[in-house]
Structure 1
């Protein structure tokens, strides 16, 4: 995320949060807060100026923010209405800046599109809709730029799916898949990818709070989740038939 975009995005989120707190304060007390609202309006004006510059530089012509002015001697109802207006304008800015901040490359979009297609096909044979729900959520989080959330959701799908495959260790699970003809015996690359994905999911993102996944790592884990789930689904379907 570009520093300027990140900074302005954070500024609007802060304004939105304080607008909500100020509105609650005014409602509880039943009294207007001229100084608090004046300060918030000035902060919004500053953020709006930064937003307009970014909008001009990026040639974003669809969304623009309304100017917020604070008349003198506002009563409680008018201040509440003005705070609601600030909240709405902040949401507009947050949406635009969020899209800029999380713009995906063509390669990422192509990979995501491919994974979505795989998931759509797989969803037709999955025994539990929660698999699809989790992976759809992981894809959504990735698209929003929350790579940690996406990776953690993918991680739990991988672990849960692997737990449906007989075997105490990852190697035993791979052996079972080979013996049942679910994966080819000569596909050593597939065997290794399952083991690596399992170990990465179980260890890398869950135990070290200093580690955050890169976009590439989160996307790779998402692909691993769909790939392993495809194999686990075959095991589950066999069990249903037996």
Structure 2
């Protein structure tokens, strides 16, 4: 992980994994990081005081983990902020505890593409795709559609660490704090690089895939903070509609399958 021969000019990437009771999947996540062909990586694991065998797995790989801690937190975004505070990298990638990097050379591929871009130091965001274990492919979009909903999957996005000098994830949001960051970046016209590669294989749908009102209500609050009143109304109505559709499908589909 710390072999920096011939890598002096390469950016340092901080990969941050937040975990709580993730013993069933964490080892695969760690293996996908430490087996990367790109050596200039620091790996940070933030554990929320797990009660299963998570700490045993972390200790097994402690010599290959740059920094780790285990303590109670206020939720996933509080834990992500702890990872940000510990990070020394030029770029940050948040990798879930049930996710794996797509290939052993994906990080090398990403930074090879970045290296060939003009004024590469001006990019604030690198966006790739993610794929779920069921084969579903998610391609992120850095566009005006961000006013409507979060179009960037953070497990496939690399963020410049400098962005977090004046931004931290709001721990009061339980599902959508990453949406706040992405919307801010879009409104600030941040320079981004879109890469047509799958960065991460995701093992679960995540918090935002749950049909609960809290995620949609958080989106509405964020839009109210950053958009005009008129835009907040225009883009807020589809959020309500999406929630109703998802809630209906979650309720109705199991009944249809029983019939």
- Give the TM-score normalised by structure 1: 0.25
- Structure 1 or 2: more strand by fraction: 2
- Structure 1 or 2: more helix by fraction: 1
Structure 1 or 2, whichever has the larger Rg, is 1
